[in-house]
Amino acid sequence: MTDARSRTARPGSKPPLTLDTELTFLKGAGPAVASRLKPLGLERVRDLLLHLPIRYEDRRRIVPINEVAHGVEALVCGKIVSAEVRFGAKRWLRVVIDDGRASLVLRFFHFNEAQKAAMTDGRWLRAFGGVRVTPSGPEIVHPEYRIADSALELPPETRLTPIYGLATGITQTRVRALIQQALAVAQTDADYKADFPGLGGPATLDALRTLHEPDGRDLGDLLLDRHPAQIRLVREELLAHQLCMRLLRKQSKSAPGTRIEGVLAAEARLQGALPFVMTGAQRRVVSEIARDLAAGKPMLRLVQGDVGSGKTVVAASAMLGAAQAGLQSVLMAPTELLVEQHARTLNGWLSPLGVEVGLLTGKMKKSERDEALRRAATGATPVWVGTHALFQGDMKLKKLGLIVVDEQHRFGVGQRLALRDKGPAGVTPHQLIMSATPIPRTLAQTVYADLDVSVIDELPPGRTPVQTVVLSNERRFDVLSRIGEACRQGRQAYWVCTLIEENSELQAQAAEETYRQLREELPELKVGLVHGRLKAAEKEAQMRAFQSGATQLLVATTVIEVGVDVPNASIMIIDNAERLGLSQLHQLRGRVGRGATASQCLLMYQPPIGQGSKARLEVMRTTNDGFVIAQKDLELRGPGELLGRRQTGLVGMKIADPVRDSGYIGGLQKLADDWWLKAPKEAQRLISRWIGDADRYAQV
């Protein structure tokens, strides 16, 4: 299959739309919209189809304003009483609507003149959002809304409203409209018209339509992720994943690999430069890697190790080994924050040994980036650190011998496949994949079927287990005095703001608000703030300040979830912890308990909370063991509670969650073996549908 057809067509020449057409050919998607959708992985029409809603909202009933409840989302409709711009720390728009029973305030922090002008008194406004009941009455911050001259023009919806993961500056309405167009295109696509035999359930396109435009009939099943349409797509994706792993395995088994000897010598040399002694588990894993690298076959090894088990130094040993053999290696991490941290760490360890570490981040100036790419291409700098995304771009390394992928749960099989041609022609680089997402051992073999697995099953000595306390946010005052006290004793703390919001803009706002509040409440402390919307340089400065102890309390969004390492930080507060899934809580908590001081994690919840949330917090309170938590997660994830979907987000899948959906994997492995032998064409079709990169598969 080739997907080059429509890529070269220019706007204006009106080619027929296909699934491979770029998004910009759709109505309502100019270059600006397209560039904002790109980070979500949405570039072609086909990507939109599989961009499934992350949840649904029920806007089928208008709630009288005097019946709205705190913390509950509601559809309200009322007459506009006033709309005025206010000036506080920021300029904002305050709109009051009244439905004859009560009034409600809408707050907008981002708005334009046209929006404001449309809100004239006496018109009707229908809004949907999470309600906050404040002493001065109910309010909604940044609702989705519509305006009309009469209430009759604003009836409730007849279908459930799908909510999609968003990019800044793109509205739900816009995404919905684009997906409608994508569905229409799929209707004419030969691949989607031909169903797959033996998969059961509704055909793919029917399933997609059900999920994008749910009529609400099977609401319960839908919300619990067990609607036949969901099951069908999950099975399809898992099967595609299984097939792709067979492909990866076959490729690497048949390719020659560069022999790298001397990894153990490198480890010994590195050990000499370290301020600590590597654990037995770390050394065992390094020796497993050393054996792979010296074997003359491309290594494909996964290192699983709980948060804080010390994976970085294991990777560094392998990278030093490669450097000593005259080869380059790259370490890829999912966030800029983590990349910068890794660059600092590796520099600290390797530059005293005379090994240069290069950095590649998305925020570099073009001239700096070009220079970095040039150096990489000449083979000069032996060790590189950068984000996943960067290495998927045009980077080439003349002497690439080893690729390390950190925090693999953010990185999919398809991406791994694309790494093949980063190095010199004909050479398959060794791959070391590191994951802190502890998945139950029983599952590892199936989820990572193509990888050899090493486990770092020992934490560095001298760590006292994190003590976890669960408490209601009514005790916020106690929490504040505890933090104040601890910081006075020279300790540092994280304050993590959570928000079920697919919009990073709103998350940033919530964090900024908490930041302001905490600075008022704890005036004697130096408080820092880090969230996803800060500029890279600012993020880095904030992290440095926290790392050096210049700030004592760091207010953060879940951006610090992966990999961040500040050993002196020994307290973590997680606000609204009941909203997070177990694996996310575990990752976050792993940021503390890294030094010698006893650490605390305070999980604050907003009462009342449901049974499921209670059970999760209880698991967190009683154990620190990632594998136990993963097992509990599997058990607790039964039906009964809707919780942000896909909590694990393992291995870069779009909709399946190998932990939640583990029950299907066994059967699908058999099916994959079958297809692999008897239906290679179908197998290829399924892989390109779900994992993409059709060109590449055509070479197989």
Binding-site ranges for ligand ADP (CB under 6 A)? 276-279, 282, 305, 307-313, 436, 460, 563, 565, 567, 594
Q: Which is nearer to ligand ADP, 540 or 578 (CB)?
A: 540
Contact 305/434 with Cβ under 8 angstroms? Answer: yes
Q: Which is nearer to ligand ADP, 211 or 278 (CB)?
A: 278
- The item of Mg ion, ligand ADP, none sharing an interface with residue 488, based on CB under 5 to 8 Å by kind, is none
Helix (H) or strand (E) holding 372: helix 366-378
Choose the binding region for Mg ion from 82-90, 339-347, 557-565, 692-700 (rule: CB under 5 A): 557-565
Give the nearest distance from C-beta 563 to Mg ion in angstroms: 4
Establish if 563 lies at the interface with Mg ion (CB under 5 A).
yes
Which residues 6+ apart lie within 8 Å of 188 measured at CB?
none
Q: Which is nearer to ligand ADP, 181 or 279 (CB)?
A: 279
Which residue in the shown chain puts its C-beta closest to ligand ADP?
310
Choose the binding region for Mg ion from 186-194, 224-232, 378-386, 562-570 (rule: CB under 5 A): 562-570
Q: Which is nearer to Mg ion, 208 or 559 (CB)?
A: 559
Helix (H) or strand (E) holding 190: helix 190-193
Give the nearest distance from C-beta 454 to ligand ADP in angstroms: 13
Q: Which of 335, 354, 385, 290 is nearest to 564 (CA)?
A: 335
Q: Work out the burial of residue 34: count CB atoms within 10 Å of its CB; fewer than 13 is exposed, 13-18 middle, 19 or more buried.
A: middle
Give the nearest distance from C-beta 342 to Mg ion in angstroms: 8
Q: Is the link from the previous residue into 608 a cis peptide, with omega within 30 of 0? A: yes
Pairing of strands 55-57, 161-163: antiparallel
- The item of Mg ion, ligand ADP, none sharing an interface with residue 279, based on CB under 5 to 8 Å by kind, is ligand ADP
- The item of ligand ADP, Mg ion, none sharing an interface with residue 307, based on CB under 5 to 8 Å by kind, is ligand ADP
Distance CA 47, CA 465 (A): 44
Distance CA 550, CA 670 (A): 56
CA distances from 325 to 262, 319, 322 (A): 8, 10, 5
CA distances from 610 to 101, 195, 547, 642 (A): 31, 41, 37, 11
Structure tokens at 100: 């004859």
Q: What is the DSSP letter of 307?
A: T
Q: Which is nearer to Mg ion, 229 or 303 (CB)?
A: 303
Give the nearest distance from C-beta 581 to Mg ion in angstroms: 20
Residue carrying structure tokens 């030093």: 320
Give the nearest distance from C-beta 419 to ligand ADP in angstroms: 21
Q: Which is nearer to Mg ion, 440 or 563 (CB)?
A: 563
Choose the binding region for Mg ion from 71-79, 123-131, 247-255, 558-566 (rule: CB under 5 A): 558-566
Distance CA 431, CA 405 (A): 8
Contact 409/437 with Cβ under 8 angstroms? Answer: yes
Give the nearest distance from C-beta 442 to Mg ion in angstroms: 24
Give the nearest distance from C-beta 581 to ligand ADP in angstroms: 19
Residue 323, Cα to own-chain centre: how many angstroms? 31
**Residue 662 CB coordination number (10 Å):** 18
- The item of ligand ADP, Mg ion, none sharing an interface with residue 276, based on CB under 5 to 8 Å by kind, is ligand ADP
Q: Which is nearer to ligand ADP, 270 or 493 (CB)?
A: 270
Distance CA 94, CA 17 (A): 43
- The item of Mg ion, ligand ADP, none sharing an interface with residue 567, based on CB under 5 to 8 Å by kind, is ligand ADP
Residue carrying structure tokens 């909203």: 579
Q: Which is nearer to Mg ion, 324 or 583 (CB)?
A: 583
- The item of Mg ion, ligand ADP, none sharing an interface with residue 201, based on CB under 5 to 8 Å by kind, is none
Give the nearest distance from C-beta 384 to ligand ADP in angstroms: 18
- The item of Mg ion, ligand ADP, none sharing an interface with residue 309, based on CB under 5 to 8 Å by kind, is ligand ADP
The strand pairing partners of 134, in sequence order, are 137
Q: Which is nearer to Mg ion, 93 or 315 (CB)?
A: 315
Give the nearest distance from C-beta 587 to ligand ADP in angstroms: 9
Q: Which is nearer to ligand ADP, 94 or 463 (CB)?
A: 463
Contact 284/226 with Cβ under 8 angstroms? Answer: no
To the nearest 10°, report the CA torsion of 213, 218, 222, 225. -140
Q: Which is nearer to ligand ADP, 331 or 376 (CB)?
A: 331
Q: Work out the burial of residue 362: count CB atoms within 10 Å of its CB; fewer than 13 is exposed, 13-18 middle, 19 or more buried.
A: middle
User: What SS3 class is residue 694?
Assistant: helix
- The item of Mg ion, ligand ADP, none sharing an interface with residue 652, based on CB under 5 to 8 Å by kind, is none
Give the nearest distance from C-beta 538 to ligand ADP in angstroms: 23
Give the nearest distance from C-beta 260 to ligand ADP in angstroms: 21
For Mg ion, the binding residues (CB under 5 A) are 563
